[in-house]
Structure 1
């Protein structure tokens, strides 16, 4: 029956159409209209994009987003890979540690943000308490300073998502054939040489996939921004998705918000396609 494959795909296509493609098309259309006056919505063409690119808050949020992505993606991936290498052996002790490290991923981001509010509390928080044991009395408002607020937010992201990325690396390490590692040992390679010349190249598809997932999470997860800083102080923790939310909910500027959404989606799509292309070129071992 030729129609059977299409019937099996129909539920997925319906959900994709309703919750992915239709909102995307709607955002493109809305970006061409000025909605600030509820009773006078009118077509403005590219004017919303011009207003968007002339808005310094948009560029500040874009800059913050790039810095936030770097500060979360790089440390979390390096930690996840290191933990996967350390816990690669499938012992009962390692299984318990994996569960503990993965646990933050299970917690809702709002709950984690509330928890970290107590960690960063000036003088009475856990961070100041332990730092005071080393450096004397501390009373630092980490979320109230432009120099530390975004770093504090990034630390939360690293803590929450590292265990999740570790699972992908564990799966990638377990997929590497043992005979490849054994052959490298027989050739006299040490542990560093095996990791750099054998393990790392064979992990390239996994690394590209995890980078894509981590990038999407860094852009789309904003609950902690709403709970902890609301984009402050002085826009230092405002990121693109939170900026879009503010435009839509606080100023009723759906046209400009839709324009920003379209720009963000295009950037995310470009980065994702690039990483998937790199994934297709990944190293594969045939045996």
Structure 2
């Protein structure tokens, strides 16, 4: 009983924080989604699932969901591949590698708002660094990358990759350094190539780390929208309106709390589903005996 009680006491702060900052907000979001509290309605009126019906009838919601899924593909996959490549290249604990790790990690400590401001200057038509260097190869450039629907989301994705790839690199470095060297040494003695060692030994042993990084990257790709607010404000023509920005716009500009709560609850369900699928797929074969 004392052992059980001590365990509960140790875990109680975590339970309290989970209840206050996770489960209660989730319950509040679900409750608010059942009421209509727009300024056009006097007080709060119980409307049941009407907010969900209005949400699913809104084409901007589906466009924001599509943009968010596309943004996930444009940021999560490239940033994880880049982070893994950097970790493999900087695996050895050399002095130059330590300096390079610091350099690649540096964007992580820059606030996303500041990073968005920096990249806004880079994307300025004709005057920005991107057009300046492209003009040397292709002639005078005057491309409004943030003002065109077919390039604005891609520009935001570049900011996300630049900002978080170094952060994910640290997890891969930790995973690589924690792996037992005996398996790789045995493979080298058997004459395995570098690619065979990576594909058959390193990559399988890194699967728990990859699993964790993918979940973190999914959360960041949905919750980090400071650069959207600073650089495009959801434009042009809602081309960069992602789910969290759509929810923020409903709350602050339309004052449609019920519909925003419904969108929040749907987003949480989708994120939870992504996480479950990811765990089911990547957890297979991740446990090894030492």
User: What's 2:18 paired with?
Assistant: 16
Q: What TM-score, normalized by structure 1, do the two folds share?
A: 0.97
Give the alignment partner of residue 197 of structure 1, picking from 176, 196, 200.
Answer: 200
Structure 1 CA distance for aligned equivalents of residues 228 and 183 of structure 2: 45
Ranges in structure 2 where 5+ consecutive residues have no aligned partner: none
User: What's 1:25 paired with?
Assistant: 27
SS in 2 for 1:241: helix
Structure 1 CA distance for aligned equivalents of residues 155 and 55 of structure 2: 28
What is the CA-CA distance between 1:5 and the residue it aligns to?
2.1
Structure 2 CA distance for aligned equivalents of residues 51 and 240 of structure 1: 16
Q: How many residues align?
A: 287
What is the CA-CA distance between 1:102 and the residue it aligns to?
0.5
Structure 2 CA distance for aligned equivalents of residues 282 and 23 of structure 1: 35
Give the alignment partner of residue 265 of structure 2, picking from 262, 268, 274.
Answer: 262
Contact kept in structure 1, 2:207 and 2:283, CA below 8 Å: no
What is the CA-CA distance between 1:119 and the residue it aligns to?
0.5
Ranges in structure 1 where 5+ consecutive residues have no aligned partner: none
After TM superposition, the structure 1 stretch with the greater mean CA deviation from structure 2, 201-210 or 25-34, is: 201-210
Q: What TM-score, normalized by structure 2, do the two folds share?
A: 0.96
Structure 1 CA distance for aligned equivalents of residues 87 and 180 of structure 2: 16
1:154-183 CA-partner distances (Å, limit 9, x unpaired): 000000000011111111111221110111
1:126-141 to 2 correspondences below 5 Å: 126-141=129-144
User: What's 2:79 paired with?
Assistant: 76
Structure 2 CA distance for aligned equivalents of residues 186 and 7 of structure 1: 50
1:55-113 CA-partner distances (Å, limit 9, x unpaired): 00000000000000000011111111111110000111101110110010111100100
Structure 2 CA distance for aligned equivalents of residues 172 and 8 of structure 1: 28
What is the CA-CA distance between 1:43 and the residue it aligns to?
0.3
